[in-house]
Each structure stands twice: as structure tokens, then as C-alpha cells.
């Protein structure tokens, strides 16, 4: 069958649309449904899935692009991925330069960030690109003392993911580090002044944003935490993080468990090499999804942990100067190998 014109275009772009993309498209087209107590009982007893499990920032931003460009969800989502992945990589480079004060090393780490295994998710019709961009923008604005810019990610992150509001903690710590009130484990409260308090108060926007969304959920569903209740549709329930490992027998779950444990070992190893704010960000982002009793999609939660690219990039750049670009080739090959499972719609790439 030969596809022509728009049909061929739609077929090509559909490659970027898998799994959760369909849920985002439902929100894009129909918004969130009203629910009552009987509906929630069905979710709990029959594990029915609901769009309430997904946060609104991504589908709303795709909708905005769709309106501006007069395109459908798939095309607008592809444009969205192009825009926010480029913004994400740009912010990463700027933050890497602030971290290393070395243009060449920052550029190398950025290349690593782009081609690292599973980072193709930044190009898919998913929320990873916009979420990571906002996280990087927040840390970068704090690092450069541009606190008025911080208001943008502070407003939007609680609408992007469940851990968006909890990121208030590492951002507050980053401000204390930038103001030299907190250095490693030394806290000097005597240095806190009115200016510092005003800077910290900007993070209240995160609370207001989250409260507004909680109120909207209550008005639509009778629950302030509909996003949490909807997790039952995916058989997720609150458990201790260690209970998530090797909980299921299929290859995907086994791989995710091993991969997550290896990342946690790296996080422990690199603890003293990173600011406290970065460490808190890493552990919040790792432990929160593990509390759900599943390691499903852990690759997607891990790719946003940009400080690991500082650690990996610096290690390769410093210890293997002659083969540092060969390492990039190997990692890119691994990314293509992972991408194969996405192309064939294998559960491994969920």
C-alpha cells in the first residue's frame, strides 16, 4: 500500500506515538471526565484505567500548539517534542557549563545526555521533554540568580507530574546553597535575611498551583487526589520501595529492577560529588515511583535525572580522553537497540 501526502505524514509521525500517548490524546480531545463514587468503586474493584492518572500540562501545551498551527494531536505533539527537547538540551548545556566552568566538558556531557540509552523518550509524544526542561530551567535560574524566571517552572511543574510539587524541597535547598547558607552539610542560619526569605517565598507558587489543581479534581471527581486514586487502574498501590523490585516475573520487570538498582548504586557513589539539592532531587525522583509497588516505566523516571550525565560525562571525559567519542558511539548504539523495542511496540519500551 502506498501512502501519499498527509496520509504518509501521519503514518510517519505515528512512530512517535505509543502507549501513554493515547491517554494524553484522550485528554487533548475530551478533557477530563466527571466521576462519582460509583465510578471510583469500579476503578478500585475492576482496576479500570482513567485519564485522571495523567497530569494536564502536557496535553494542554500540545493543545496550544495544535491551535496555533492548525494541526492534529500527532503533528502538534511532534512539534512539541522538537521544541521542548531542544530547549531541554540547551538548558542542560548551560547548567553543565555552570557546574564545570568548562565549555568542552559541558558540550561533551550534553552529547552524552542526548544519546544516552532510553533518552529517545525526549523525542516521543510524552511529557518527559517539557518536564525535564522545566526542572533544568528551575535549577539554572537559581544558579544564575534569575529568580523571576523561577516563577515559570514553579507554576507549571505541579501540573506536569506527581513529583512536581515535591521538587519544592530540592529547589529550596538549591536557593540556600546559592545564597551560601548551606554548604555540604553545614547550615548557617545566621546568614538568612529578608532577601533570602523573599526568594524562598517564590516557591509558594508551587503550592498554590498544586492546590488549584487539587480543587479542580475535587470539583470534577469528588476527590482532591484523583491522580492518585486512578493509579489503581494500573494495579499500583502504596508499598515500601524495596517491595517493587523483582515483584513480577516478566523480562521487562526484571530488567527495570536491575537497571534501577544500578542507578541507585551510582547515586550513592556520586553523593559527595554533587550538591545536596541535586542529591535530594535524584532520590525523590527514584523513591516516589517505587512507592507504587512497581518498577514499570522506571527508565522514563530515570532519564530526567540530569546530574547523572554530569557524573558519567565527567568520568569518561577525564579518564578516557582518547576514546571519549568512541564511548558516545557505543552508547548511541545502545540507545538504538533500546529504540528497537519502541518500534515494535514491545512492553520493554513502555
Residues 291/239, Cβ–Cβ less than 8 Å: yes
pLDDT at 292 over 50: yes
Look-up: residue for cell 516505566? 297
The DSSP string of 31-87 is -PPP--HHHHHHHHHH----GGGS-SHHHHHHHHHHHHHT--HHHHHHHHHHHHHHH
% of residues, the chain, pLDDT over 90: 63
**Of 12-16, 44-48, 135-139, 218-222, which gets the smallest average pLDDT?**
44-48
> Which has the closest alpha carbon to 316: 180, 115, 88, 53?
115
The DSSP string of 103-129 is HHHHHHHHHHHHHSTTGGGGGSSSSHH
Buried b (16+ CB within 10 A) or exposed e, 303-334: bbbbbbbbbbbbebbeeeeeebeebbeebbee
Look-up: residue for cell 471510583? 40
pLDDT tens figures, 132-172: 999 999 999 999 999 999 999 999 999 999 889 999 999 99
Grid coordinates representing 113 are 545526555
pLDDT at 9 over 70: no
Q: Reduced to 3 states, what is the DSSP secondary structure of residue 131? A: helix
Grid coordinates representing 270 are 556520586
pLDDT band at 2 (very low <50, low <70, confident <90, very high): very low
pLDDT at 182 over 90: no
Q: What is the pLDDT of residue 297?
A: 82
CA distance 301 to 289: 8
pLDDT at 217 over 60: yes
pLDDT band at 38 (very low <50, low <70, confident <90, very high): confident
CA distance 18 to 297: 13
% of residues, the chain, pLDDT over 70: 95
How many CA atoms, within 13 angstroms, populate the side-chain half-sphere of residue 301? 27
Average model confidence (pLDDT) across the chain = 89
Q: Using DSSP, how many helices (H) and how many strands (E) does the chain show?
A: 17, 2
Q: Which residues contact 257 (CB under 8 A, 6 or more apart)?
A: 244, 245, 246, 247, 295
Grid coordinates representing 241 are 520501595
> Which has the closest alpha carbon to 136: 82, 177, 169, 90?
90
pLDDT at 250 over 80: no
pLDDT at 331 over 80: yes
pLDDT at 232 over 90: no
Grid coordinates representing 346 are 514491545
**Of 2-16, 84-98, 137-151, 302-316, which gets the smallest average pLDDT?**
2-16
pLDDT band at 234 (very low <50, low <70, confident <90, very high): low
pLDDT at 4 over 90: no
CA distance 299 to 46: 28
Length of the chain in residues, anyone? 350
Chain centroid to CA 41: 30
Grid coordinates representing 33 are 471526565
Q: What is the pLDDT of residue 237?
A: 72
Q: What are the sequence ranges of the domains in the chain?
A: 56-305+324-349
pTM score: 0.92
Residue 2, sorted as left (phi over 0), alpha (psi -120 to 50) or beta, turns out to be: beta
* Segment 108-126 mean pLDDT: 95
Amino acid at each position: 500500500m502506498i501512502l501519499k501526502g498527509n496520509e504518509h505524514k501521519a503514518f510517519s509521525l505515528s512512530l512517535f506515538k505509543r502507549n501513554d500517548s493515547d491517554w494524553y490524546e484522550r485528554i487533548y480531545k475530551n478533557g477530563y471526565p466527571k466521576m462519582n463514587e460509583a465510578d471510583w468503586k469500579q476503578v478500585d474493584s475492576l482496576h479500570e484505567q482513567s485519564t485522571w492518572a495523567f497530569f494536564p500540562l502536557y496535553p494542554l501545551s500540545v493543545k496550544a500548539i495544535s491551535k496555533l498551527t492548525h494541526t492534529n494531536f500527532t503533528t502538534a505533539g511532534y512539534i512539541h517534542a522538537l521544541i521542548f527537547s531542544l530547549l531541554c538540551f540547551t538548558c542542560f548545556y548551560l547548567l553543565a557549563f555552570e557546574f564545570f566552568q568548562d565549555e568542552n566538558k559541558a558540550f561533551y556531557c550534553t552529547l552524552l545526555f542526548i544519546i544516552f540509552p532510553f533518552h529517545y523518550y525526549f523525542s516521543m509524544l510524552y511529557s518527559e521533554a517539557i518536564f525535564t526542561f522545566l526542572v533544568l530551567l528551575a535549577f539554572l535560574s537559581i544558579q544564575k540568580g534569575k529568580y523571576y524566571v523561577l516563577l515559570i517552572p514553579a507554576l507549571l511543574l505541579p501540573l506536569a507530574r506527581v513529583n512536581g510539587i515535591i521538587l519544592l524541597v530540592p529547589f529550596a535547598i538549591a536557593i540556600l546553597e546559592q545564597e551560601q547558607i548551606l554548604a555540604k552539610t553545614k547550615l548557617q542560619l545566621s546568614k538568612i535575611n529578608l532577601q533570602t526569605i523573599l526568594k524562598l517565598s517564590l516557591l509558594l507558587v508551587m503550592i498554590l498551583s498544586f492546590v488549584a489543581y487539587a480543587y479542580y479534581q475535587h470539583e470534577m471527581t469528588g476527590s482532591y487526589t484523583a491522580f492518585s486514586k486512578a493509579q489503581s487502574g494500573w494495579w499500583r498501590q502504596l508499598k515500601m520501595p524495596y517491595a517493587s523490585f523483582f515483584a513480577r516475573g516478566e523480562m521487562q520487570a526484571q530488567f527495570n529492577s536491575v537497571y534501577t538498582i544500578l542507578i541507585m548504586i551510582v547515586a550513592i557513589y556520586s553523593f559527595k560529588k554533587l550538591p545536596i539539592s541535586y542529591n535530594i532531587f535524584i532520590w525523590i525522583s527514584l523513591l516516589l515511583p517505587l512507592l507504587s509497588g512497581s518498577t514499570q516505566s522506571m527508565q522514563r523516571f530515570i532519564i530526567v535525572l540530569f546530574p547523572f550525565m554530569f557524573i558519567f560525562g565527567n568520568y569518561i571525559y577525564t579518564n578516557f580522553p582518547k576514546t571519549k567519542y568512541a564511548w558516545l558511539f557505543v552508547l548511541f548504539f545502545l540507545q538504538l537497540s533500546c529504540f528497537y523495542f519502541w518500534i515494535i511496540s514491545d512492553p520493554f519500551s513502555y
